[in-house]
Amino acid sequence: MKRDRGGSFRRPGPVGLRQCDEAPSSDAWIGDFPGGIASVPATRAWARGLLATRVAGPVQDDVMLLLSEVVTNAVEHSSSGSRADGRVTVRVTLSSRFVHVEVTDAGSATSAPVARMVEAGSEGGRGLWLVDMIATAWGSRHDGKAGRTVWFQAAL
């Protein structure tokens, strides 16, 4: 495995991180949300409002699905969701080639983001698998000060 510049691992195969495709951004927005499950629809509404007139419907739909999955993971599996003052920060960047989304949470001492295969009857565990299947690139990085960031890109 090779580590890319964003701190992610690139692996071959159907479930693995793919390298970030970097390009200068033309627009970027940052939103800060409480670390609770109510932030999942709130972040989705916020991002849809930003992208509504800028990104085609099918790409928007993919971004909204993936954003929901990543924010859900942030509030369910990080310290952001377990503390009363927990926060989740979302950064949306739009370039001429893709939408780049970053979700930063407080991180966790007991878990790290991993895409995995799940049993057909399982009720959960598909979030990062969906990100891996739909996003053109995704990864994660941990910064002791900022916490953990999971990012993904959707091609325009």
For 83-92, what is each residue's pLDDT tens digit? 889 999 999 9
Query: Where exactly are the structural domains of the chain?
Result: 2-7+28-113+124-155
pLDDT class for 118, splitting at 50, 70, 90? Answer: low
Let me know: does 85 contact 51? Beta carbons within 8 Å. no
- 2-7+28-113+124-155 is classed in which CATH architecture? 2-Layer Sandwich (3.30)
For 37-60, what is each residue's pLDDT tens digit? 999 999 999 999 999 999 999 999
Tell whether the model's pLDDT for residue 150 goes beyond 50: yes
Query: CA 125 to CA 82: how far, in whole Å?
Result: 19
Calculate mean pLDDT across residues 84-101.
94
3-state secondary structure of 78: coil
Query: CA 107 to CA 142: how far, in whole Å?
Result: 8
Q: Is the pTM of this model over 0.75?
A: yes
pLDDT class for 121, splitting at 50, 70, 90? Answer: low
Calculate the average pLDDT of the chain.
81
